Amino acid sequence: MARQNQTIAKMKSDYMDQYNAQKERHRRRRKRFIRRFSFCSLVIAITFFVLFSYHMKQRALYAEKKAEFEALSEQLVQLELKEKELLEEIDLLNDEEYILDIARSNYFLSKKGELIFQVHDDEHDRSY
């Protein structure tokens, strides 16, 4: 069957006017719903993206701060050890006997009546 261009006359009645008005309202309502849904989806997607990027920045910052904390903790341990050694040295330097021992060994000072002999190490003095 060939399609023919037929003109159909529409009935003019209150029922048809109400029906067409109801269809038009339904079409507008559906169009508004789609716009609202699209807008809300867009807002949610943007919010999700912003929160996700913020979370990733915070994770990177946390990792950086944690590494810095560990490095500083190690440095603190080393400094505390050095402080302990220096305090021990201060205690030793307050002892007169220790100072005299250092003066004897480094500057070849002697006690009264003591003789100091300087002995050369044969291994280091030999030159072939």
Residue spans of the domains in the chain: they are: 15-113
Q: Give the model's confidence band at 68: pLDDT under 50 very low, under 70 low, under 90 confident, else very high.
A: very high
Distance (Å, whole) CA 125 – CA 128: 10
The stretch 41-66 carries a mean pLDDT of 98
* Residue for token pair 């080393």: 78
Question: Would the pTM of this model clear 0.85, i.e. be above it?
Answer: no
Tokens (6 digits) for 84: 């302990």
Distance (Å, whole) CA 92 – CA 98: 6
Percent of the chain with pLDDT over 90: 59
**Measured between alpha carbons, how far is residue 68 from residues 57, 74, 79, 82 in Å?**
16, 10, 16, 21
Name the least confident of 30-39, 51-60, 107-116. 107-116
pLDDT of residue 100: 84
In the three-class reduction of DSSP (H, G, I as helix; E, B as strand; rest coil), residue 125 is classed as helix
State the chain's mean pLDDT as an integer: 88
In tens, the pLDDT along 78-121 reads 999 999 999 999 999 898 888 888 888 887 777 777 777 777 77
The packing angle between helices 96-107 and 14-93, to 10°, is 80
